[in-house]
Amino acid sequence: MRCTVFGTGYLGATHAACMAELGHDVVGVDVDPGKVAKLADGVVPFYEPGLDEVLQRNLAAGRLRFTTDYEDAAAHADVHFLGVGTPQKKGEYGADLKYVHAVVDTLVPMLERPAMIVGKSTVPVGTAAALGIRARALTDIDVEVAWNPEFLREGFAVQDTLRPDRLVLGLDRTRERADWVEQHIRDIYADLIDAEIPFLLTDLATAELVKVSANAFLATKISFINAVSEVCEATGADVTMLADALGYDARIGRRFLNAGLGFGGGCLPKDIRAFMARSGELGADHAVAFLREVDNINMRRRTKVVDMAARACGGSLLGANVAVLGAAFKPESDDVRDSPALNVAGMIQLHGAVVTVYDPKAVENSRRVFPTLNYATSVAEACDRADVVLVLTEWNEFTDLTPADLEPVVRSRSIIDGRNCLDRHAWRDAGWVYAGLGTP
């Protein structure tokens, strides 16, 4: 089948390439000519394992191309996926839908036959219905709006698109062509449905709420164990052992119970805030009031690590040399949006320290956000004459470190494990001062 994907960021580029991998004829559309040129040349403008191979394979096969031309896209297909960003509004909690609206306002007047806009982006509940009204006000042609939320994890985005754990499609059943929309989406995902991946049909509002509810739940689970880690710190208990014990309970499970620096990235923080904002607009803010404390706990972890760094340097960071290992918000990604690691590095610098950051993939993105920090090209360079080393993103390159790797270069044998990902006994046995979060 033919389809288009509007937006070529993490979501859109991955979705476009993977729809081509499923055998469809796909056009990716973006207003950024530089991004389009890179993708057309087979270059992924961000780090996502495996995506470059999928992109290049389908460009070569002729199933995938990229353009800035909306008219070209409008003529190409009847199915138009919407994968643009919905960032947090400046100075507010709510989601900024200007990119979503821009696609609809530009595309719809160019349509010459009945078409569907299928949302992938994470949006406030009620957006899809409003977009349907907005689209049909722009044309006499029948335009349907459906919602098919994404559930991508950065670092696993290709896998999560080609073999998701579920497919959700929200439809407006009051529309006569709802069955037409459903059949087209079933055809596009036929291989996945044949592979017995669950396909859930819902109304529009439910489909919109699935993704943001999932993110809110994960954020709550992460902040829960981080709150418990604060109690562990006050009592001498071990949050890692505690989490292992909790994880054996089938009702709870072990995943996302890793205490540490907390969550970040382009989804969880802004999505839970947008969820709170939209719930307030609907008069249901009391129902998600707990998310404000989830957010507070998460941000409190960052200042905790800054305080730990100051204690490691004798009570003051002024003039200290601090090595920060990790800048991306998670391993296997170069994404530094709302990165706890980079935020901590910036706060430590504001306290007067000389901060040197190393990350295997995120240095260039970090430099654009925090140009005043020092950046290294290796662990050894970052840790040269360091008074304290902070491990803030759990890349394998960092979790595999041994005390012998760093002893020749550091000034003080002091390490803060912001992800509880190191063997604290091995470091202490080697004579290092080790500090973790929620661990004795």
- What is the structure's pLDDT at 37? 97
pTM, full prediction? 0.94
Residue 134 — pLDDT band, cuts 50, 70, 90? very high
The structure tokens listed for 228 are 């418990």
- What is the structure's pLDDT at 39? 98
The structure tokens listed for 388 are 């304290």
- What is the structure's pLDDT at 362? 97
- What is the structure's pLDDT at 332? 95
- What is the structure's pLDDT at 288? 95
Question: Quick one: average pLDDT of 144-152?
Answer: 97
May I ask the CATH class of domain 243-436?
A: alpha beta
What is the number of alpha carbons within 13 Å of residue 316 lying toward its C-beta? 3
What is the number of alpha carbons within 13 Å of residue 182 lying toward its C-beta? 15
Residue 159 — pLDDT band, cuts 50, 70, 90? very high
- What is the structure's pLDDT at 106? 98
Question: Quick one: average pLDDT of 32-51?
Answer: 96
Question: Quick one: average pLDDT of 284-302?
Answer: 96
Give yes or no: 267 in active site: yes
Percent residues over pLDDT 70 in the chain: 100
Domain boundaries, the chain: 2-197, 243-436
Q: How far is CA 440 from CA 97, 158, 306, 403, 434, in A?
A: 45, 39, 18, 19, 10
Question: Quick one: average pLDDT of 126-142?
Answer: 97
Same fold, 2-197 and 243-436: yes
Q: How far is CA 210 from CA 47, 160, 170, 308, 413, in A?
A: 27, 16, 10, 38, 47
Q: How far apart are CA 138 and CA 110, in angstroms?
A: 10
Q: How far apart are CA 320 and CA 342, in angstroms?
A: 18
CATH topology for 2-197? Rossmann fold (3.40.50)
- What is the structure's pLDDT at 220? 97
- What is the structure's pLDDT at 436? 97
- pLDDT tens digits, one per residue of 340-377: 999 999 999 999 999 999 999 999 999 999 999 999 99
The structure tokens listed for 347 are 């706060």
Q: Contact at 8 Å (CB) between 51 and 160? A: no
Residue 88 — pLDDT band, cuts 50, 70, 90? very high
- What is the structure's pLDDT at 230? 96
Question: Quick one: average pLDDT of 322-345?
Answer: 97
- What is the structure's pLDDT at 344? 98
Residue 11 — pLDDT band, cuts 50, 70, 90? very high
CA 406 vs. chain centroid, Å, equals 31
> What mean pLDDT value characterizes the chain?
97
- What is the structure's pLDDT at 45? 94
Question: Quick one: average pLDDT of 413-425?
Answer: 98
Residue 184 — pLDDT band, cuts 50, 70, 90? very high
Q: How far is CA 374 from CA 357, 361, 383, 411, in A?
A: 6, 15, 12, 18
- What is the structure's pLDDT at 157? 96
Opening angle at CA 293, ends 238 and 99, nearest 5 = 120
Q: In degrees to the nearest 10, what's the CA dihedral of 180, 184, 185, 189?
A: 150
- What is the structure's pLDDT at 115? 97
- What is the structure's pLDDT at 54? 98
Q: Contact at 8 Å (CB) between 347 and 261? A: no
Percent residues over pLDDT 90 in the chain: 100
- What is the structure's pLDDT at 136? 96
Q: How far apart are CA 367 and CA 216, in angstroms?
A: 30
Q: Which of 102, 127, 101, 131 is nearest to 116 (CA)?
A: 131
Which residue among 267, 313, 383, 421 is the active-site one? 267
- pLDDT tens digits, one per residue of 242-256: 999 999 999 999 999
